[in-house]
A and B are shown apart, each in its own frame.
Chain A
């Protein structure tokens, strides 16, 4: 019997373990063969010359926990039950605990397009892990489908490893993919001062100063895209299919007007040997569903999240959530959320409040922001939580 079991050895789970282990018997479970979660592939410049090297941070989190916490890797959790205690069923046996933290992170969304099942087509995160963690090239020349903060950051990372990115464009429009040039443009602007978008305020001189989505700015955006910080970004081109027999050989690119409408006859092929599809991230909350938690849909959080309080509590006793399962944000926020959940479990309210203000501070200053309306999404969940608590009290 453990005091606390933590599902997920990412930044949230390991940060929680670091605090709990001083007072409790703790077990961390993860299905990957290396602890660190999605930190392992992360690499970006936070300030000039100051790098966020996720692999190094993951190593530190592991060295801080491996002596006092039991960390079981290559272990998938496939069911959880609650009676007096939590029973966690895994591929390496069943474990029990008094408290449970769900820190399962997020998954990548990717919408299909013709021939997306060819070898060489992968999510942008797959290319990130190959390049920065496995140190194996995803290919020699890639095309990225989808313009969002994650695909931009990872395009930069491919560049640091001297892997050629031929194009970054939009997906074809269909029932699932609705991204339009103006959405992509807004994304680029909202990346603020992070490197890939610097061209918007300086280089191309189109926006940044003015209101972001000025139609004139969109019209002016060059038809063939622009090259900024080494990234060939094109918001008036869509990848409409992938070509190849046994593996990726090229993509077909369709030119569009500034509203995203295809221009007749304007297609061409671009040769490449890998394609990354990227439609953002979504919380991975199957464990919460197994426990029948209420879920709230908030687009700005990435999709359905288990109903929780800002103190990481859930509707069930001794059950906490932390990290991206509560909504898509960067790894620093995940770490503070993990610490917050741990302080709550230990009943240290002062420390919990300090973690909460660290989260608020990081949210304001985050270098990588995944959604512009994040705070609204957080507000929606918190309001719903309070209403339900109020009803319970009555």
Chain B
């Protein structure tokens, strides 16, 4: 199954070059140079982040760098906007998760 629009009535046909990269340790494929946000969605992945405070899922929102909802960890660097980051072969991308509560301790949300 593909979620890519390979043929488009007006824009024509595309043949993206797929390259492997890692999402939470697992190898998946994206089109080289497309945004991470698009590549993950093409793999059926909508939850890009868990909210720092309550762990609720978050995904693509504005897709052009304004809202910062799509931030992920890329090659160890936190808070990279997935919509502004092009896919590179072999890159390591991880979802960010709920943070421990510094005052109430880890169990606060359980």
Binding site for B on A (CB under 8 A): 31-33, 38, 43, 51, 53, 55, 74, 76, 107-108, 117-123, 125-126, 129-132, 134-138, 160-161, 246-247, 284
Contacts and interface: CB of A to CB of B under 8 A. Distances in A.
Contacts of A247: 46-47, 57, 59
Q: Is the contact region of chain A dominated by helix, strand, or loop, or is it mixed? A: mixed
Contact of A160 (B9, B35, B38, B69): B9
Interface size class of B (residues with CB under 8 A): 35 or more
A134 B65 CA distance: 15
B35 A119 contact: no
B58 A136 contact: no
A109 B93 CA distance: 29
Contacts of A123: 61-63
Given A126-B60, A126-B61, 5 more contacts: A38-B64, A123-B61, A130-B60, A135-B11, A137-B41
B6 interface: yes
Contacts of B65: 31-32, 76
B84 interface: yes
Per CB-CB distance, the 4 closest pairs between chain A and chain B, nearest first, are A119-B59, A126-B63, A134-B38, A119-B46
B31 to A, nearest CB: 8
Contacts of A32: 64-65, 84
Main secondary structure on B side of the interface with A: loop
A36 B69 CA distance: 23
B98 interface: no
A120 B70 CA distance: 12
A135 B84 contact: no
Contacts of A118: 57, 59
A51 B10 contact: yes
A284 B86 CA distance: 24
